[in-house]
Amino acid sequence: MRTGVKYIGVFMAESDVPSIMNQNTALSEVCLEVKNLKVLFHTPRGILRAVDDVSFTLSRGEILGLVGESGCGKTMTALSIMNLIPFPGKISGGKVLFMDKNLLDLTQDEMRLIRGQRISMVLQDPLGSFNPVYSIGNQLSEVVRKEKARKERYGKVVHALKQVRISNAEDRFHSYSFELSGGMNQRCAIAMALLPAPEIIIADEPTTALDVTIQLQVLALLKELNKSGRTAMIIITHDFGVVAVICTKVVVMYSGRIMESASTFTILKSPAHPYTKSLLASIPRIGGSKELHAIPGQPGASLDSVQGCLFASRCESVSPICREQTPPMKEVEKNHWVSCWKIESD
């Protein structure tokens, strides 16, 4: 008998979870470690905490899911890794260790060697990812600009396009983004991200702008690329369905802070934080209850001055202490961390 979790029809057995989850084995090589990252935005209305004391690790071959509603800081976290926080934001604390080097200490010139080469990114809007006046091939070639010979570059780009299952790759090289569908554009964007054989690919809502049928194709592609190249990935999404399909571990964020982090299997099986539980319950299920469960209130970054647990105002199981003090991160089971006062009292 298979033990496991049934989740929107995707049956995930415990054995499906890669053994890389065991942090103590020598096989797992931590390539990215984010420690106590803090990003503040200085706006006329006050100082907003976009990212507040966020920490997580990413090992080779892992696919990390960064989950949360809009405005919770997931994109800002990704941009912090690349050190491209736009004005008026500023990284005000923490470290981003990539291969044991703090990326935040690097100069812009040094950082440019990493961006797009060793850590690359895929964005949400496939059509918007490409400059409409240049061909796809032209823009993919930019990523392999180190290769001086034009023919070699062309060859590499075409090979990458083939890897992402673009038919007629030789012709597609000369196509423009507006000539291709959303799904094809996104696959080209993925090709662009994987072309230089990076250690990490960060995908920010890669399937949100695509048709449902295409979404699964793209996710399957990402999973395959991860398996074959041992490329670590960070998938930013608000959709637990995406998480269930490809992520090996999950970090749930709210208002800039991490609420819960665990392996995908664990989180789907036994979510601990009320927010995580609400997110999972909000997804309509065939055969589930008739009423749609919604989380009252609005998500978003909070002002620097706000005290206590940031989810308190929308939490079902809120208690007085939640509004006064921020709950610490506690390990409730192996590699399952939660920041919630309710866990303390349980």
Partner 1 sequence: MKRYVLSRIAQGLFTIWAVTAVLFCLTRIFGDPISLMLPLEATEQDRKNLTRQLNLDKPIPVQYLSYINDVAHGNFGLSYSFRQPAAEVILKRIPATVELACGAMIFSILIGITAGMLSVLRPRTWIERISMGLALFGQAAPFFWVGLMLIMLFSVYLRLLPSSGRGGLVNLILPSITLGMWSTAAIARLTRSRMRDVLSKEYIKLARLKGLRESIIIWKHAFRNATIPIITLIGLELGSMLGGAVVTETVFAWPGIGRLVIEAVLLRDYALVSGITIFVSFIFVGLNLVIDLTYGIIDPRVALSKHRV
Q: What is the DSSP string of 197-235?
A: --SEEEEESTTTTS-HHHHHHHHHHHHHHHHHH--EEEE
Nearest residue (CB) to partner 1, 181 versus 307: 181
Distance CA 260, CA 332 (A): 10
Q: Judged by CB, which is closer to partner 1: 196, or 327?
A: 196
Between 32 and 143, whose beta carbon lies closer to partner 1?
Answer: 143
Min dist. Cβ of residue 128 to partner 1 (A): 3
| The residue type at 49 | R
Query: How far is Cα 211 from Cα 185, in angstroms, rounded to an integer?
Result: 13
Smallest separation (angstroms) from partner 1 to the CB of 254:
25
Question: 324 to each of 190, 307, 312, 321, how far by Cα in Å?
Answer: 44, 6, 10, 5
List interacting residues with partner 1 (CB under 8 A).
82, 84, 111-117, 120-121, 123, 125, 128-134, 139, 142-143, 176, 178-179, 189, 192
As given in the structure block, the two tokens for residue 132 are 């409409």
Least distance CB 141 / partner 1 (angstroms):
11
Residue closer to partner 1 by CB (options 75, 255) is 75
Question: Under DSSP, is residue 104 helix (H, G, I), strand (E, B) or coil?
Answer: helix
Contact 60, 46 (CB under 8 A): no
Burial 281-295 (b: 16+ CB within 10 A, else e): beeeeeeeeeeeeeb
Q: How far is the CB of 306 from partner 1 (least distance, A)?
A: 29
Nearer to partner 1, 193 or 258 (CB): 193
139 versus 326: smaller Cβ distance to partner 1: 139
Strands 30-43 and 46-59: antiparallel
Residue 203 CB, nearest approach to partner 1 (Å): 12
Closest distance between partner 1 and the C-beta of residue 77, in Å? 14
C-beta separation of 35 from 94 below 8 A: yes
